[in-house]
Amino acid sequence: MEKDILKVLITEEQIRQRIQELGEELTRDYQGKDPIIVGVLKGVVVFYADMIRQIKTPCQMDFMWISSYAGTTSTGNMVVKRDIGSDIKGRHVLILEDIYDTGSSLDFTYRHLLSKEPASLKICTFLDKPERRKPGITLKADYVGYTVPNEFVVGYGLDYNEHYRNLPYIGVLKPEAYGA
């Protein structure tokens, strides 16, 4: 795997430090609110596991899985493959996302959860890649780990064709590794 990485963008130590900082901020903001933390599968798993342990106030966990892919090709149509199991009406909800890229999936997730009438709905994304945002997507993340350039990043849960998720850092994939 390492041979496919052009460069390390965010080190393991930088990730640990930023997760701790985000955890402190979320702990302050959600103190006494008993939020439901919703992770969007699959890429969020590593970030979610680290983040949830840094939130030092009572909270509940839930997950949803959406997809627009058939194999490695996007169909452009979002489908909820697994919805949350919690009733979030009147509850404070925080979406944890691995990367806010084009915005299609996060916008879909946000609107889907908003339709369930939460008391509040906020977004925490580990990576934000604003250069890739589709026109018309105006949703803003409330909490951002890192803003990254428009490069193909993998690691820390992010994948290419289901590989590289287990890298402990964020790396830029060599173009030849993904056929560019």
Q: Active-site residue 34, yes or no?
A: no
Q: How far apart are CA 121 and CA 114, in angstroms?
A: 7
Side-by-side strand order, sheet with 143-147: 73-82, 60-70, 36-41, 92-100, 120-128, 143-147
Alpha helices in the chain (DSSP H): 12-30, 45-52, 104-114
Q: Which of 101, 107, 128, 142 is catalytic?
A: 101
Cβ within 8 Å of residue 61, ≥6 positions away: 36, 37, 39, 52
Residues belonging to the active site: 101
